[in-house]
Structure 1
Amino acid sequence: MDSLLGSAVSAVQANAVKPLYALPTAVRRRLAGAPIQIDGNTLDPEVQLLLRADGLLPSTTKSDVATARAHLRTACKLVAGNPRELHRVTELTVRGADGQLGARLYVPKDAGRGLLVFLHGGGWVVGDLDTHDCLCRALADEAGIRILSVDYRLAPEAPAPTAAEDAIAAFTWAVDHAEDLGVDPALVAVGGDSAGGNLAAVVAQQCVSRDLPRPALQVLLYPGLDLVHRRPSRDLFPDGFIITEHDIIWYRDHYTPDPGVRPDPLVSPILAPDLTGLAPTYIATGGFDPLRDDGNEYADALKSAGVEVTHICHRGLTHGFMNLLAVPGAVQEARAHLTDHLRAVLR
């Protein structure tokens, strides 16, 4: 069995994950090993297989920034599958907090008048338009909406709150230029995964506090929302589930070299004193994510503030599951739930 797993891993390293998931279901289950159960949740066997395939993904141990960025680009290519064909994908620039930012507009074949301004994950340090290209294509195609992916500035070159200010500026640019983008300004949403979910939450809050146009929806995918406090899920899943405790600290220290900025809601939006009046919210968390409790707690706080919230905790999934486009089963079901919601709200 180990030799079969080794052969599958070799194929995956050369050709992405397709060969691994082409194996019969019964074989995949045996390769995944005994079920992993923590905190009352059972890890999805398809994701468990991905994690068990030793050497499948580049090491997540963070050393220097350039290496970490290269690792994420490689990892995303391995798990993304084939990119969706869309009606049009256009490179453009949008307004940032201090000059222009690169961006990419995804237009599906059957595009409605809605737009999601998407802010990629990567701990505010890694990630770019290309690492999340396949995800944005899939969301645009399945939801039938336009996606505007924004290449905000990264740390450590641009520490906090630069990324947050870029995100706010880019979102307001999208609303101002909605007609040029072919969308209804009342149907412009903001969203992102992980660090991008943090930035999307900041945008939704600051649009209220700064009296800016508010998003039609905020989409927070397994967001990291608090750079000050740690919650129990970080102790439950410190290693072995896509993102590690070491990763979280490494990202935090690069994004906020000055610890004094960490309590600011521009950096830790869960610490905002008032959440009333925020946009309707979609929050997706993973049961095996060290950042799970951030999203779960924020969903509860938003509900208490009277915000309309759709919160799904995908109990068998890890951090980063939306990017695992080539993984069947629960990952695809999670994405379908998201795109159904986007279609319902923005179409």
Structure 2
Amino acid sequence: MVASPTYPVQLIQPDGRRVHSPEYSALVSDIGPERLREMYRDLVVVRRLDTEATALQRQGELGLWAPLTGQEAAQVGSAHALAPDDYIFTSYREHGVAWCRGVDPADMTRMWRGCAHSGWDPATVNMTNPAIVVGSQGLHATGYAMGAKLDDADIATVAYLGDGATSQGDVSEALGFAVSWGVGVVFFCQNNHWAISAPTHIQSPVPLAQRAAGFGMPAVQVDGNDVLAVLAVTRRAARHARDGAGPFFVEALTYRMGPHTTSDDPTRYRTDADLDEWRARDPIERVRKLLERESLADDEFLAEVQDAADTAATRLRSGTLALPDPEPLGMFDHVYTTEHPLIEGERADYTGYLASFATQKEAGR
């Protein structure tokens, strides 16, 4: 079933009023006041982490960062829908998902600072590290889900991707393979409307959810700035995968408020009017207004949330600045699980190159 592209699933309006959905409201009926406050806390913390990491890059402490501001609800809502043994294949912008899975903020910047090939141990949180090759994680997730099916594991495998990734051949191959073999992959597409500077409408003449339906899998379009709607839709998709019913595609309509990465200048391809429209749909303000409508957010609670966000940001900053410079030869470690002649040859060549500096220094004396 494909939700109408004109009416994506929505459970909270931008002004904080609830929306009743006969199909999806029941899927979040267990979300009481404390759980709603917990999700609001995560939304605020995630934005604060993103702000801090962006500042670190601007200060020369990170080589690059991929901001997520504006996409918090899509990430927090979907992450809260998943079980601990579900496995996540990420792209490069899912810092919010990482936070919700329990990744230490101090580990989030290791790769972006250039200190390591990766940031955290995937086995500890069942989530891979950022994937820079656009769309490749779709095939990885499909292969993992195939293994889970052969092992009779009742889990959902989730592949996070952006709208731009749906234009990659890897994603089309993953969609086709997942349907053909009936594997339990949830393809979670954060349609933030920009593939760097290319708007979605020039990538596809139809909603991306309809693209997935063309492969023969169920697909739903959801308001990606509505954390409860995203939670409900992702719960449905994950249950579909765990039940052995095959893959499911979710298109979360959201907006990237910042640059594609910190090397991008979005003012070259979009207007202030675009931003104003989406600022009115801010995912954090939406939940805050809901909490205030239902008398769940007083000054004390809001101050506690801000303290939690600042503490997490401090952890990210201090952890980043404390990262040691890597050993030069460390770049050849963990490339393959076993020794590889090409890598070993490159290691030997680079070892000789480094040694030449010591020789030159001695000669200069």
State if a TM-score over 0.5 links the two structures. Answer: no
Q: Which has the higher contact order (CA 8 A, sep 6+)?
A: 2
* Greater strand content: 1
Structure with the greater alpha carbon radius of gyration? 2
* TM-score using structure 1 length: 0.32
* Greater helix content: 2
